[in-house]
């Protein structure tokens, strides 16, 4: 039983079901079953009518998934959560629940490239209009709202340029217009930032990243009020079948136990890498909200307890030099995704954000020569040495 006074690190370890009452198993069991037996036909009918509670079929709910959802709700300080097959399916379900054909939603233009493609390529086919604005400017958000606006969506810190969006400022706008605010908390995780405490209504995660933590799962999470989570489940998730598998839910439960410990190390290492790059003569610019020169530093300090594991930078030189740098890495792995134990490095403009045109990249504040590092949990000296030896080979 979870105790009210437990702190975040304790909740991360013990917030899920705990000891299995049937077997004493300390690690939660994986209910790898697609269907669940009814006691009799009246029970089956009552379950389908919503007059009895229990499991029917794993697309509609599964005990391992429930366990993950309860744990995520605790960690984000929300009433309820929903788990999905991916971060993108969580985002799609969010918008598809709130918007119908003819509606619009306001989104930050600086988001993960796959999210941007979902907004700009897919949603208009459903008759839903994404209005993308640079959400670092709160006025731009407010100016884009009209009586058909059903949601404000921001990502902070933003992928890939670490823009920091003022959650409280966005929440004030959302409340004034009676529109829900959703915050993608993938980069920070609930270990560093709990958007509901700053006035957001929904938290979104690509759980593929820090929550899994080991690069072995693709999954998504929404957290919010029980009423809204029930609505997303009934109106969208159950119909479109964006459900998570029991095994993937279990992998995330395992990841959550070490989330605070891993994230502390990611933050410490990222600060070391950001400082190392800042003083390197071949580096033109470093993007890390923990650096005082970062334009979002003060807002980050006010809404995050540390600055996260993601760093971006630009070198002095051409795009070819950038490619050479990445091809020279010996420890840092040349790959997309983030939040893994391994340090991952990529060139957003040609990979994760290749869904943006050159104009959209410029508008989103994503430089074409930007390199992004998901700083892992290795010894930071080895990560910096690897960057150093690669930087030596260019220019
Ligand atoms: N939100 C953020 C902030 C993300 O970084 C990603 C994926 C998603 C949502 C989508 O989640 P998924 O469906 O992949 O679980 N970001 C990726 C990235 O930067 N590289 O590869 C995937």
Task: Residue 335: give its domain's CATH number.
Answer: 3.90.1150.10
Q: How many CB atoms lie within 10 A of CB 52?
A: 14
Ligand 1 centre to CA of 236 (Å) is 21
Whether 108 maps to a domain, the answer reads: yes
The question of whether 112 is a catalytic residue gets the answer yes
Among the candidates 222, 255, 288, a domain finishes at 255
Which 3 state secondary structure label does DSSP give 356? coil
Q: Are 370 and 131 in contact (CB under 8 A)?
A: no
Q: Structural domain of residue 160, as residue ranges?
A: 8-255
Q: How many CB atoms lie within 10 A of CB 150?
A: 16
Among the candidates 235, 255, 275, a domain finishes at 255
Q: What's the CATH code of the domain at 67? A: 3.40.640.10
pLDDT of residue 17: 73
The question of whether 59 is a catalytic residue gets the answer yes
Whether 3 maps to a domain, the answer reads: no
- Cα gap 149→147, rounded to integer Å: 6
Ligand 1 centre to CA of 138 (Å) is 24
Whether 1 maps to a domain, the answer reads: no
Burial (Cβ within 10 Å: 0-12, 13-18, ≥19) of residue 342 = middle
- Do 192 and 288 belong to one domain? no
- Do 248 and 269 belong to one domain? no
The question of whether 284 is a catalytic residue gets the answer no
Whether 45 maps to a domain, the answer reads: yes
Q: How many CB atoms lie within 10 A of CB 147?
A: 7
- Do 251 and 276 belong to one domain? no
Among the listed residues 184, 306, 340, 386, the single catalytic one is: 184
- Do 131 and 228 belong to one domain? yes
Which 3 state secondary structure label does DSSP give 226? helix
DSSP 145-171: --TTEEEEEEESSPTTT-----HHHHH
Whether 2 maps to a domain, the answer reads: no
What is the helix (H) or strand (E) element at residue 371, kind and residue range? strand 371-374
Smallest CA-to-CA distance from 260 within 268, 251, 248, 271 is with 268
- Cα gap 274→380, rounded to integer Å: 11
Whether 85 maps to a domain, the answer reads: yes
Number of domains in the chain: 2
* CA of 155, closest atom in ligand 1: 3
- Do 295 and 382 belong to one domain? yes
Which 3 state secondary structure label does DSSP give 39? coil
Q: Which residues line ligand 1 (CB under 6 A)?
A: 86-88, 112, 114-115, 155, 159, 184, 186-187, 206, 208, 218, 220, 336-338, 352
**DSSP H stretches of helix in the chain:** 8-14, 41-49, 63-76, 87-98, 113-117, 138-144, 167-176, 226-232, 238-240, 246-257, 259-278, 297-303, 319-327, 358-364, 380-392
* CA of 351, closest atom in ligand 1: 20
* Tokens standing for residue 295: 């334009």
- Do 294 and 246 belong to one domain? no
Ligand 1 centre to CA of 112 (Å) is 6
Ligand 1 centre to CA of 16 (Å) is 25
- Do 247 and 160 belong to one domain? yes
Q: In what order do the strands lie in the sheet with 104-108?
A: 80-84, 220-224, 202-206, 181-184, 149-155, 104-108, 129-133
The question of whether 125 is a catalytic residue gets the answer no
Bridge pairing between strands 129-133 and 310-315:
unpaired
- Do 116 and 23 belong to one domain? yes
- Do 263 and 222 belong to one domain? no
Whether 79 maps to a domain, the answer reads: yes
Whether 335 maps to a domain, the answer reads: yes
- Do 106 and 125 belong to one domain? yes
φ/ψ of 300, rounded to 5, equals -60, -45
- Do 240 and 307 belong to one domain? no
Q: Mind listing the pLDDT tens digit of every residue in the chain (395 residues)?
A: 778 899 999 999 998 777 888 898 999 999 999 999 999 999 999 999 999 999 999 999 999 999 999 999 999 999 999 999 999 999 999 999 999 999 999 999 999 999 999 999 999 999 999 999 999 999 999 999 999 999 999 999 999 999 999 999 999 999 999 999 999 999 999 999 999 999 999 999 999 999 999 999 999 999 999 999 999 999 999 999 999 999 999 999 999 999 999 999 999 999 999 999 999 999 999 999 999 999 999 999 999 999 999 999 999 999 899 999 999 999 999 999 999 999 999 999 999 999 999 999 999 999 999 999 999 999 999 999 999 999 999 97
Q: Are 265 and 365 in contact (CB under 8 A)?
A: no
Bridge pairing between strands 104-108 and 149-155:
parallel
Among the candidates 227, 255, 283, a domain finishes at 255
Beta bridge partners of 132: 107
- Do 248 and 150 belong to one domain? yes
pLDDT of residue 21: 82
The helix-helix angle for 246-257 and 259-278 (nearest 10°) equals 70
């Amino acid at each position: 039983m979870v105790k009210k006074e437990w702190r975040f690190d304790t909740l991360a370890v013990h917030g899920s079901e705990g000891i299995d009452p049937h077997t004493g198993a300390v690690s939660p069991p994986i209910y790898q079953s697609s269907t669940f037996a009814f006691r009799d036909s009246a029970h089956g009918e009552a379950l389908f009518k919503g007059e009895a509670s229990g499991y029917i079929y794993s697309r509609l709910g599964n005990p391992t998934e429930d366990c993950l959802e309860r744990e995520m709700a605790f960690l984000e300080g929300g009433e309820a959560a929903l788990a999905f097959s991916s971060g993108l399916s969580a985002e799609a379900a969010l918008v598809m629940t709130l918007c119908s054909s003819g509606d619009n939603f306001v989104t930050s233009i600086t988001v993960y490239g796959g999210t941007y493609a979902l907004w700009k390529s897919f949603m208009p086919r459903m008759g839903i209009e994404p209005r993308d604005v640079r959400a670092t400017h709160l006025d731009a958000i407010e100016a884009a709202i009209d009586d058909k606006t059903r949601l404000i969506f921001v990502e902070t810190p933003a992928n890939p340029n670490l823009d920091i969006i003022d959650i409280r400022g966005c929440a004030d706008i959302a409340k004034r217009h009676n529109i829900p605010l959703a915050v993608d908390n993938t980069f920070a995780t609930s270990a560093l930032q709990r958007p509901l405490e700053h006035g957001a209504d929904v938290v979104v995660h690509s759980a593929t990243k820090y929550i899994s933590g080991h690069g072995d799962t693709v999954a998504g999470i929404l957290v919010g009020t029980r009423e809204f989570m029930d609505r997303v489940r009934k109106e969208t998730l159950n119909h479109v079948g964006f459900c998570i598998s029991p095994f993937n839910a279990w992998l995330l439960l395992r990841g959550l136990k070490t989330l605070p410990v891993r994230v502390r190390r990611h933050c410490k290492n990222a600060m070391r890498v950001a400082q190392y790059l800042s003083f390197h003569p071949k580096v033109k610019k470093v993007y890390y909200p923990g650096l005082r020169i970062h334009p979002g530093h003060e807002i980050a300090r006010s809404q995050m307890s540390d600055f996260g594991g993601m760093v971006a930078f630009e070198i002095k030189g051409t795009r070819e030099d950038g490619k050479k740098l990445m091809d020279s890495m010996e420890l840092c792995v040349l790959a997309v995704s983030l939040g893994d134990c391994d340090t991952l490095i990529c060139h957003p403009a040609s990979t994760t954000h290749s869904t943006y045109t050159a104009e959209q990249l410029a508008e989103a504040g994503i430089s074409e020569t930007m390199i992004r590092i998901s700083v892992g949990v290795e010894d930071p000296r080895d990560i910096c040495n690897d960057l150093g030896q690669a930087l030596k080979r260019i220019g």
